Structures are given as structure tokens and as C-alpha cells.
Structure 1
Amino acid sequence: MPSIFGHVGSYLPGDTFRSRLELRLSGLHRPVRAGIAGSQHTGAESIVMSQVYEDDVFAEDEIIYTGQGGRDLKTGHQTTDQTLNDRNLALMKSQETGQPVRVIRKVYDEERAEQVFRYEGLYRVVGHAYELGKSGFGVWKFRLHPARN
């Protein structure tokens, strides 16, 4: 299936989805588990902020997104340094090409009284660094800003 950069279908920022499977079926974020969709050759199509990486920061004008890897799946804690794997290289490729990245974030929906995935819109990767994270392990941190067409 070819990569899709930018908005998908008629989905707009603010639209919510109940599960990762719904995200996959919508085409907004195809991997059911991975937080980064894309490859080092094409770039990142989308990312999901699932509240599992302690170094992630979501602010109005900037996102700090922690790259993939090094996290213990059972405890959720960072236990090893991250490597420059295909998914992290995908975000670097997006910085190089300037292609927009769809951002989805797990949030609490008060009306439904449950966690949902909300489409936040299009962002551009504007920087990256390899730094010590809160747990003392090396993590890739990617800075994203809202895409201005």
C-alpha cells in the first residue's frame, strides 16, 4: 500500500476513534501497535502519542515526541537506550523532506468517560536530538510544529 502524507479522506482534526483498530481502518494510522507509521525511505506518515513514553510533551505550539524503542512492554519504563531503527529514521526522513506527519493523541473523553484517540492534525518535524531521557537512558526526541500550508 502506498504511503499517504497529509490528511486522509474527510477526517479532520478533533475527530476521535475508540481504538487503534479504528485508526487502522480509517487509514489515519495503519500500524495497530507501533507508534510511528512509515519507513526510513519514505518518511513518517503518522505518529500516535499513547501516553507510554515519559519524555513525550504535547504543547499548543510544539510536540516533543520520543522515538521508538528501549521500553519494557510490561512495565512501560524505559530500560535501554534507543537505537536509530527504521521507524526513528522515518521521522528523520520527514524532517529532511518536510512532508507533513499526521498526529494522533490518546486523551480522556469526558463525554464518553473513556480514553480515545484524537486526530490532532498535521505537523512537520523541525528538529531531532539524542538525549538522556527521564529514566537515564538515551532516547531520540523529535520536535514537531503544526504544519502551516
Structure 2
Amino acid sequence: MGTPRFGHVGSYLPGDTFRSRLELRLAGMHTPVRAGIAGSQHTGAESIVLSQVYEDDVFGEDEIIYTGQGGRDAKTGQQVSDQTLNDRNLALLKSAETGLPVRVLRKVHDEATAAEVFRYEGLYRVVGSAYGPGRSGFGVWRFRLVPVAA
């Protein structure tokens, strides 16, 4: 594990797209190939990916409600158990504490290529968190993120 990178990476700007999770990793935008949260409980979250797999995620113009990691069935994608305060969820709590920016990437449909891509949405701050029942009835962590003012 290398030195954490908070903020923008290289010359990448919001709106830039990446064809795969591997491309995100190679660019240094988001290092885990599968996990949606990059970071640790000690340093905070460097980046998150909204991949349209957690039913409680909400992406809005003024805020994001991001569901923490865990409790999903690997085959069906359904929430089947309560989430815990694992290292990745603690990373987002640490980010709320430190105020360091989190890179947000989101899986979207690219009209030009008719493919799913990952778009860099920009820098956000974690400004709140809550634990409670999600749509499936299981306990989930929800993190509120707002855009960093330019």
C-alpha cells in the first residue's frame, strides 16, 4: 500500500472517463479493483466509486448519500445482512473527522460509445453519517458527501 493521495490526481478533471476499474487503478484515481472505498481507518477515504450496486445510494446535484461497504450477497448483489464498522467504513468516518477531500467516481452509460464507463465527478467532503435500516431492512451505513467548492 502506497502513500495515500487526497485530492485531484495528475491532470485528471471532473468529467474525465475511464473504461474499467483497472484503468482507474492504473491512473491512480481509485486503487482497489473491486472495493468501492479506497483508504483506511487511519488516513481516511481517498476515493469512492458509485457502481449502481447498493440500492441505498443516492447521487444528487448538491449531495451524495453513499452506502457503506458490506452485507451484500456476492452473487445477487442484494443486501442480506447488517453492515459493520469495517476498515473501509471507518475510512469514511475518518474523512468526516479530517475534512480531507474524497475523489468521487461514478459508473455511467456513455452515449458516444454505448458502454458503461467510470466518470470522475470531482472532489467531495464527508459531512455526515448515519446507521439505520436500508431499503432491504438491514442496517447500513450512509455517508453524506457534498461537493468541495471550487
TM-score (norm 1): 0.99
Q: 1:131 and 1:145 mapped to 2: Cα distance? A: 20
Q: 1:140 and 1:45 mapped to 2: Cα distance? A: 18
Shift of 1:2: 0.1
Which residue does 1:15 correspond to in 2? Answer: 16
Unaligned runs of 5+ in 2: none
Counterpart mapping for 1:63-78 below 5 A: 63-78=64-79
Q: 1:132 and 1:89 mapped to 2: Cα distance? A: 18
Q: 1:121 and 1:73 mapped to 2: Cα distance? A: 28
Shift of 1:30: 0.4
Q: 1:147 and 1:88 mapped to 2: Cα distance? A: 21
Q: What's the % identity of the aligned pairs?
A: 79
Query: Matched residue pairs, number?
Result: 149
Provide the alpha-carbon RMSD of the alignment: 0.5
Per-residue CA deviations over 1:85-126 (Å, capped at 9, x if unaligned) read 000000000000000000000000011101000000000000
Shift of 1:131: 1.1
Shift of 1:148: 1.6
| Letter of the structure 2 residue corresponding to residue 135 of structure 1 | S
Counterpart mapping for 1:103-142 below 5 A: 103-142=104-143
Q: Which runs of 4+ in 1 moved over 6 A?
A: none
Counterpart mapping for 1:71-86 below 5 A: 71-86=72-87
Q: 1:18 and 1:148 mapped to 2: Cα distance? A: 27
